[in-house]
Amino acid sequence: MGLLGTNLFFAINLSAVKYLTSNNFMQPFGMNVIRVGVSVLLFWLLFLIYPSKEKIDRGDTGRFLLCALTGIAINQMLFLKGLSLTYSIHAVLLMLTTPILITIIAAWILKERLNIYKIAGLALGVSGAVVLITARQGSGSGENVLLGDLLVLINAVSYTFYFILVKPLMLKYNPVQVIRLVFTYGLLMVLPFGWNEFVAIEWNSFGATEYTCIGLITIGGTFLAYLFNVYGIKVLGASVAGAYIYIQPVFATIIAMIFLKEQLETYKLLAAALIFTGVFLCNKTRENRQVSRSLDNQRK
């Protein structure tokens, strides 16, 4: 149930972000200050309630800062900005290209050998992304779909590097403590970029719906989602937990169609089929499947 809730939170988070940005209640970088800031407060509150005696080695500070840069600052700022410009369905499908990016980076940096399954998976996954980005756009709440899609893809690349950097820390320390520190450093990095948009928010224009969206984004889509995800991986294992990531596009699509009036056009179904098949083929080998699904399940 925890993992199911995690992916439901993520899916609701997409439409909540779109609602607030599309109706000009706040801008993406200002929203990111709220999202990261509230999460930091909650993670430190959790630390005060359940203190940890773990000591962080000073030698790991640099890696924590790089994780904050790639996993919070670049990743989340570009994701929210990209999502505000494109469709929710586009964003959730492009996020699923992360395992494919792992395969590319593994072949490039780690010199991992590409077999026929991975090559076919790369071709199909890239084709699906190209279909989304270049297709003639239909109805919905996308203001600059091409730019938004590209920002979401860059966000996925940044997150891929984050996973490579954070994995040793997750093995060395309690994952909740790692996330707490990464978010804390990340808040310091996003503040300079989002402060002006944050102070420009007109809170007196907010009603119950808007405050509910903020709660869904910060508490549900970030804080609880991260905690449930870590718990699910610990109890069920990364492989089982990874399977739940594929429920997220279903949730996100249904919610976006109901609340944002987005349509499930033929090109989106084609792109989804290409990307899903590409991810499946890239995960064909056991080793790559474990790495890729572990990455997906740490996602925002």
Residue of 108 and 160 predicted with greater confidence: 160
Pick the range with the lowest mean pLDDT from 47-51, 203-207, 230-234: 230-234
- pLDDT average, residue stretch 249-266: 73
Full residue range of the structural domain in which residue 82 is found: 2-296
Segment holding 100, helix H or strand E: helix 98-108
Domain count, the chain: 1
Judged against a pLDDT cut of 60, whether residue 2 lies above it is answered with no
pLDDT score at 31: 95
DSSP reduced 3-state for 174: coil
Residue of 97 and 147 predicted with greater confidence: 147
The CA-based angle 238-241-244, given to 5 degrees, is 145
pLDDT score at 241: 46
pLDDT band (50, 70, 90) for residue 182: very high
What is the chain's length? 300
Residue of 89 and 178 predicted with greater confidence: 178
Residue of 229 and 131 predicted with greater confidence: 131
Query: How many whole angstroms separate alpha carbon 176 and alpha carbon 188?
Result: 19
pLDDT band (50, 70, 90) for residue 128: confident
Query: What percent of the chain lies above the pLDDT cut of 90?
Result: 31
Query: How many whole angstroms separate alpha carbon 175 and alpha carbon 169?
Result: 8
Conformation bin of residue 140: beta by default, left when phi > 0, alpha when psi is -120 to 50: left
Q: Which amino acid is at 293?
A: R
Query: What percent of the chain lies above the pLDDT cut of 70?
Result: 77
Query: How many whole angstroms separate alpha carbon 159 and alpha carbon 146?
Result: 20
Judged against a pLDDT cut of 70, whether residue 148 lies above it is answered with yes
List the one residue out of 171, 197, 163 whose CA is nearest residue 77. Answer: 197
Judged against a pLDDT cut of 80, whether residue 236 lies above it is answered with no
Judged against a pLDDT cut of 70, whether residue 122 lies above it is answered with yes
